[in-house]
Amino acid sequence: MSAQTAFKFADTAPRYTSYPTAPHFHEGVGDETVRRWMAAVKDGEAVSLYIHIPFCDRLCWFCACHTRHTLRYEPVAAYLGALYREIALVAEALPETVQVGAVHLGGGSPTLLTPDDLQRLIDTLRANFRFTANVSVSVEIDPTDMDEARLDAIAAVGTTRASLGVQDFRIEVQKAINREQSFEDTRAVVDGLRARGVSAINLDLVYGLPHQSVDSIADTVALSLSLKPDRVALFGYAHVPWFKKHQKLIDEAALPGREARMAQSARAAALIREAGYEAIGLDHFALPGDSLALAARRGALRRNFQGYTDDGCETLIGLGPSSVSGMREGYAQNTTAMGDYRRAVEAGTLPVMRGFELSGEDRVRAWVIERLMCDFGFSVDEASVRFGTAAGAVVDEARTMCARFPDVLVRQDGSFMVQPDARAHVRSVAAEFDSYLGRGTARHSLAV
């Protein structure tokens, strides 16, 4: 990138898994509003379900997810009873003809569930919803939770894709984040899944962790690629101790600086691409024949609260505390407090804490930001077809940005495209189209 550009890339920026982003959700969206949105889902439409399991049997200090540490199973069993009640409430609120095209179990640690409870959870979903014939079922896995019975259960419930958290294989890094996990344990889980027919494997790596270096992340990438995953996610560690207090247990003096983070990211990405993986959006990679790579090539890549996806469903319904639903009308987030969650569902109320109803302008900006995050650009013609004259203001903003910062954004064949040298900073570019950014007191993680 030319040193002459005057564009200042932000040090921090939202991850843009939604627009507007979660800090701008408000309490004006509740049970009544969400029931209206759910009732408006089209007859016969396929929707996606995200099920949050907010428990872990160890607390990883780097984690920014909503979870709680427990060494007893009783709280988990009690939670499942409330979750089944919420599942029934959502099923009652949706039109009867709605189908489920995708199920994603996240956490926390879904693999903390006993095999019987995992089966009961999927059986409960199937009893309340119609599943499409080709429904996808994905499960996030902590390899240190796994045993033969859990591997059998994951296969038995029809899992089509498994995502394994790796982070980093160096023991010094693992101890610094309270996440000790050997390569041998990870490989055993991957082999066990494949032996049972779960062939689609994702690995999640993280750069920017304490004591990481370019060499250490390169070693982790090499070991990870030896497992031949279908997809690799390469996330930058989000150090947000003001949001997740347990991150204060991480020694900030051991965290790499901004330039070191960028070097780690660049080296890891180069190694993954050299191994034959295609770069997908900002931080994902996939083998050329994987459905995510195919979606990216045909312009069908999407971004939601689970990150990059090839899921074409327009409606995503989150179940469990803190989970977020995305519907045509807007977003709704469940309460994070377990007690409030249980009381709401026991009273027959959707446990919605806050949300955001989209305006016409919000829809335009949401689409532009999603396309930037997925494709590093957007088509002017497509924007006009989708939104008519409402797209004009955002197109004008893009045109002005091109004129002022040609090293960052350029008009090319009817589209506005982020220049290759600026793509690592696409979150900062997307922020230029965020009309809510700077309102309120929200703080964000490092942009690279």
End-to-end CA distance of the chain: 16
- Pair 423, 403: CB distance under 8 Å: no
383: left (phi over 0), alpha (psi -120 to 50) or beta: alpha
- Pair 83, 320: CB distance under 8 Å: yes
Residue 204 assigned as binding residue: yes
Residue 107 assigned as binding residue: yes
361 burial type by CB count under 10 A (0-12 exposed, 13-18 middle, 19+ buried): middle
Residue 63 assigned as binding residue: yes
> Cα-flanking dihedrals φ and ψ of residue 235, to 5°?
-95, 145
Residue 65 assigned as binding residue: no
| Nearest Cα residue to 139 out of 306, 260, 382, 387 | 306
Residue 402 assigned as binding residue: no
| Nearest Cα residue to 111 out of 82, 140, 73 | 140
Residue 374 assigned as binding residue: no
Residue 169 assigned as binding residue: no
169 burial type by CB count under 10 A (0-12 exposed, 13-18 middle, 19+ buried): buried
Residue 140 assigned as binding residue: yes
| Nearest Cα residue to 319 out of 338, 297, 334 | 334
In the structure encoding, which two tokens stand for residue 134, read together? Answer: 């080709």
Residue that has been written with the tokens 């990150």 in this structure: 307
Q: How far apart are CA 90 and CA 72, in angstroms?
A: 29
| Nearest Cα residue to 340 out of 322, 324, 356 | 322
- Residue 332 CA to chain centroid, in angstroms? 16
Q: Are strands 324-327 and 330-334 parallel, antiparallel or unpaired?
A: antiparallel
Residue positions forming the annotated binding site: 50, 56, 60, 62-64, 107, 140, 167, 179, 204, 238
| Binding-site sequence positions for S-adenosyl-L-methionine | 50, 62-64, 107, 140, 167, 179, 204, 238
Show binding-site residues for [4Fe-4S] cluster.
56, 60, 63
